[in-house]
Chains A and B, each alone.
Chain A
């Protein structure tokens, strides 16, 4: 009689890569690059490349640690059940060690190759995401992603600091913009996947405070975000190209948030306004930060 043996293969490199949450990393690289390009001063391309690489790898390490910590929760949610750990394609200790290695390595290389202030802020951001958000806040409070959103707000600041070597109001504003953007972005998503989060006991705003409160808060954050994105223009940190772009983009964001904020979902709702807001919020961030760079370019070229 043949015995059936299961062979435990070493995990594929692709699964290690998946641990780093590549799609999130794209946004991190982009905002980090924008912070770097928009900062006043000059930086050698090799050093700039190193800075962005370290931001990306640091974010990847934080993401891997997050997946290591949340493997059980991920197993219970449709959206995440196919990740390497819940799906059993990798041992937990591999993910843990990989996460720590990326986190430690990226901070060291940033410090040695770029600067220690940038490295310190990178270290804080990794700790912020993998511990303060993932381990501490996420399971405890529906304000989890408000405060945790701070993690995603660090990259443009780090990119900026890599060039200037110091922290001034502008990079702090960039941080605050992403910080204020995160709740409407995330809660729009939570509105249409709330059952997934509820099933595994994560306190997301729609589950804890109800839909109406969540919708109201999305609108409030969108209304606060708009003037915040105009402050860089008002203080003279950017020119009119960025200013007008921020205004137009922000007004659309507010309009879409009104649609979400003032409606109630019906049973079997297709949740179209929520999905549209979520999709737009991603586009919004890309274009806003792209305009920040374009604006700096235009200033340097003397076009404005």
Chain B
């Protein structure tokens, strides 16, 4: 019983939950990418500033 294919309403709930999670995960990953980019800029600038 537990492994019957889901009916339409249950599928919708499942997908909605997945979408919500995916959105949050997407936001987190993009934020991390931006952060790593910013850190790189700061560190490269510090290096460049140091050698002049």
Cα distance A9–B18 when bound, in Å?
9
User: Does the CB pair A9–B1 fall under 8 Å?
Assistant: no
Given contacts A9-B14, A9-B17, A12-B17, contact A44 B42 (CB under 8 A): yes
Check A12–B42 contact: CB distance below 8 A.
Answer: no
Per DSSP, chain B at the interface is helix
Which chain A residues border B25 with CB–CB below 8 Å?
A: 13
Complexed CA–CA distance, A7 and B36 (Å):
39
- A113 near B20 with CB under 8 A, answer no
Interface size class of A (residues with CB under 8 A): 10 to 19
A7 to B3 alpha-carbon distance, docked (Å): 10
Contact A6 B14, CB 8 Å, known A13-B24, A47-B39, A50-B39 = no
- Does A3 count as interface, using CB distance less than 8 angstroms? yes
A46 to B21, CA, bound (A): 27
| Chain A: minimal CB distance from B11 (Å) | 10
The 8 A CB mask of A247-274 against B (1 = contact, 0 = none) is: 0000000000000000000000000000
Contact B20 A5 (CB under 8 A): no
Do residues A10 and B1 form an inter-chain contact, with CB atoms below 8 A?
A: no
- Chain A residues with CB under 8 Å of chain B are 3, 5-7, 9-10, 12-13, 44, 46-47, 49-50, 53, 113
